[in-house]
Amino acid sequence: MAPADETMTDPGTPTIIEVSPDDARRVQTPDEPGTNKAHKADKLLKVTGLSTHFFTQEGVVQAVDDVTFDLGYGETLGLVGESGCGKSVTALSIARLVPDPPGRIVSGSIVFDGIDVLKLDGDEMRHLRGKEIGFIFQDPLTSLNPTLTIGYQIAESIRQHMGLSSKAASERVAELLSKVGIPRAKDRLKDYPHQFSGGMRQRVMIAIALACDPKLILADEPTTALDVTIQAQILELIQKLSDEFHTAVLMITHDLGIAAGMCDRVNVMYAGRIVETGTVDELFESPRMPYAWGLLDSLPRLDDVRGDRLRTIEGMPPLLIHPPDACRFEPRCRFSRDICRRDEPELTQRGNPLHLARCWATQPDGWIP
């Protein structure tokens, strides 16, 4: 692990944009495993003013618009919201995997472990992907190549980034497979994806994501394609392994239950923007944005009266071509007033400094105390 890290922190390759003494020192001394506490104060990932647009024939779709957040070492951050509100595009932007054309990151900065991701060239970016940033995709059934063995597909990133001999690599692959809970791992390296069930394939995807001890895992709806019991197992596995390896996780989900169970902090996204952010406890106990209320209220509850309909948020998220300069949730909001239609609220503090919300009504001088 140490030699692989040396190549990563080689002063030649990464572009260091932060010049704080902490960072400068970090570049000269290779990272030792277990010394992550040294930059506890620093953040692993800082996304500032990120805007990713898709240039389509109908117009420019502002899929992610001025998104700012950060993520500490070993922290688990949730990104929740409806479909089409920019969660996945945010994750793809961090790994620079947005399909181009039509997509492009038009502004903002992404600083990962002191490296300005947006300034890296193709080779440097490839070096980061898989090695430092692991990705778990939504659908394990289609994310594995049907013509290659499981062993090959896990070893692919190890060979790519760690330069191990093929024997050492296959030992590591077997170790990873058993770590993600696949029995008789050594015998299954030569198997093909169709010989694995959905849950086992997602375990394989997790093994691939963890293959090179990344500092960050981007988990894009990792359990959406799985049934509920397998879902729980997979989430538990992600949680266990991220604790064990001290890996930060950006957990993208539309399931508030998953966010509540796994995350330290949660960002709520709506129409390409972060509309509320806070610790899990704050967000679930005292949400300060009508959209978050709607989301929470739409969860089925154990004490629901039988026969009652599920509660929904009326309407659809807006098209993100030429969004108006107004609160984007206003058309669906029960509490909206004139100001909501005239001006877009800023993300401002609500009590706790970590708790921010984008809403006129719940601001200190707003009409909802």
Interface ranges with another protein (CB under 8 A): 95, 97, 101, 125-131, 134-135, 137, 139, 142-149, 156-157, 160-161, 181, 183-184, 187, 190-192, 195, 205, 208, 211
Q: Residue 313: CA atoms inside 13 Å, Cβ hemisphere, count?
A: 21
Give the distance, in angstroms, between the CA of residue 364 and the centroid of all CA atoms in the same chain. 31
Gap between the Cα atoms of 212 and 230, Å rounded: 25
- Whichever of 108 and 130 has its CB closer to another protein, that residue is 130
Q: In the bound complex, what is the minimum distance in angstroms from residue 154's beta carbon to another protein? A: 10
Q: In the bound complex, what is the minimum distance in angstroms from residue 130's beta carbon to another protein? A: 3
- Whichever of 222 and 345 has its CB closer to another protein, that residue is 222
- Whichever of 202 and 277 has its CB closer to another protein, that residue is 202
- Whichever of 47 and 268 has its CB closer to another protein, that residue is 47
Q: In the bound complex, what is the minimum distance in angstroms from residue 144's beta carbon to another protein? A: 6
Strand partners, 52: 64, 105
Two tokens at 93? 């932007």
Gap between the Cα atoms of 362 and 369, Å rounded: 6
- Whichever of 131 and 265 has its CB closer to another protein, that residue is 131
Other residues' Cβ atoms within 10 Å of the Cβ of residue 200: 21
- Whichever of 245 and 284 has its CB closer to another protein, that residue is 245
Beta strands in the chain, from DSSP E residues, in sequence order: 43-56, 59-72, 76-80, 103-112, 115-116, 133-136, 216-220, 248-253, 265-270, 273-279, 348-350, 352-357
Q: In the bound complex, what is the minimum distance in angstroms from residue 327's beta carbon to another protein? A: 34
Q: In the bound complex, what is the minimum distance in angstroms from residue 64's beta carbon to another protein? A: 18
φ/ψ (deg, to 5) at 77 = -115, 130
Q: In the bound complex, what is the minimum distance in angstroms from residue 143's beta carbon to another protein? A: 4
- Which of these, 208, 194, 112, 90, lies nearest to 146 by C-alpha position? 194
Sign of CA dihedral 73, 104, 255, 217: negative
Q: In the bound complex, what is the minimum distance in angstroms from residue 17's beta carbon to another protein? A: 22
Two tokens at 170? 């296959």
- Whichever of 93 and 277 has its CB closer to another protein, that residue is 93
Peptide bond between residue 102 and the one before it cis (omega within 30 degrees of 0): yes
- Whichever of 207 and 359 has its CB closer to another protein, that residue is 207
Q: Which amino acid is at 178?
A: S
φ/ψ (deg, to 5) at 286 = -135, 75
Q: In the bound complex, what is the minimum distance in angstroms from residue 313's beta carbon to another protein? A: 29
CA distances from 11 to 7, 16, 42, 307 (A): 9, 9, 19, 64
Q: In the bound complex, what is the minimum distance in angstroms from residue 183's beta carbon to another protein? A: 5
- Whichever of 82 and 156 has its CB closer to another protein, that residue is 156
> Would you list the DSSP string of 278-291?
EEHHHHHHS--SHH
Two tokens at 175? 């170790």
